[in-house]
Structure 1
Amino acid sequence: MQLRGKQKRFLRAQANHLQPLFSVGKDGLTDNWLAQLDGALDRRELIKVSILQNSDVTTDEVRELIEEKTSIQVVQVIGRVLVLFKVSANKDARELSSRVAEI
């Protein structure tokens, strides 16, 4: 699902109150980290990821890796925090994505 401007705006508003669930630290990005991120998005559909100060990767590198290796979409980048969205594979957990599809 390719997101339009109004859908991204809605998702940004929904993510405003969220705290980052995942962090990228000095170990950088691994396949295990991506698998955990994908699993968390299957349950929640919208999460924030923070990049710690001691991390060797930049925000752009994290964004490229996530978009390249997964079906996760980066909704917004705020400094060292990324807002990520993915339609859940579990039909019972698709509350947010069904609201996004209506927009």
Structure 2
Amino acid sequence: MTLSNDKIKQYRTVGHGLNPVVTVAGKGLTEGVLAELDRALEDHELIKIKVAVTDRVLRKAVIEELCASSKAALIQEIGKVALIFREAQKPDPRKSNIR
């Protein structure tokens, strides 16, 4: 998914006020985490994820795998928090963070 620089900037601004809705911890990318990630992206489109992995290289790999498995675009990564976006199939303006 390719986004324009203007969209990325807009999503970063919106994402600044969001709290993480999905946390990846010690057990890594389980089916439950991936299911919750999919549900959150379908509801909100733009979400923050907290990746509680101390190793920087491993954390980056986990974020890349999350984005690839959910077909989402990485907007921003700061420390242990990643901001990702995926357009919803049937967007609900009451739940979406970008509408």
Gapped regions of structure 2 (runs ≥ 5):
none
8 A contact 2:75–2:84 mirrored in 1: yes
| Aligned mates of 1:52, 1:65 — CA distance in 2 | 15
Q: Distance in 1 between matches of 2:97 and 2:27?
A: 34
Return the offset for 1:66: 1.8
Which residue in 1 is equivalent to 2:4?
4
TM-score (norm 1): 0.79
Superposed counterparts of 1:15-30, under 5 Å = 15-30=15-30
Q: Give the share of equivalent positions with the same residue, in percent.
A: 30
Q: Secondary structure at the match of 1:38?
A: helix
Partner of 1:87: 87
Pairwise mapping of residues 1-103 of structure 1 onto structure 2 (< 5 A)? 1-52=1-52, 58-93=58-93, 96=98
| Bigger helix share | 1
The one-letter amino acid paired with 1:77 is E
- The verdict on how the C-alpha distance between 1:51 and 1:67 changes in structure 2, with shifts beyond 3 A counting, is closer
Instruction: Compute the displacement of 1:15 (Å).
Output: 0.5
Contact 1:25 1:54 in 2 (8 A): no
CA-based RMSD of the aligned residues comes to 2.2
TM-score by length of 2: 0.82
d(CA) in 1 for partners of 2:22, 2:92: 23
Q: CA deviation at 1:38?
A: 0.9
Runs of 4+ aligned residues of structure 1 deviating over 6 Å after TM superposition are none
Which runs of 5 or more residues in structure 1 are unaligned?
A: none
Partner-residue secondary structure (3-state), 1:29? coil
Q: 1:46 & 1:26 partners in 2: Cα distance?
A: 24
Distance 1:25 1:48 in 2: 14
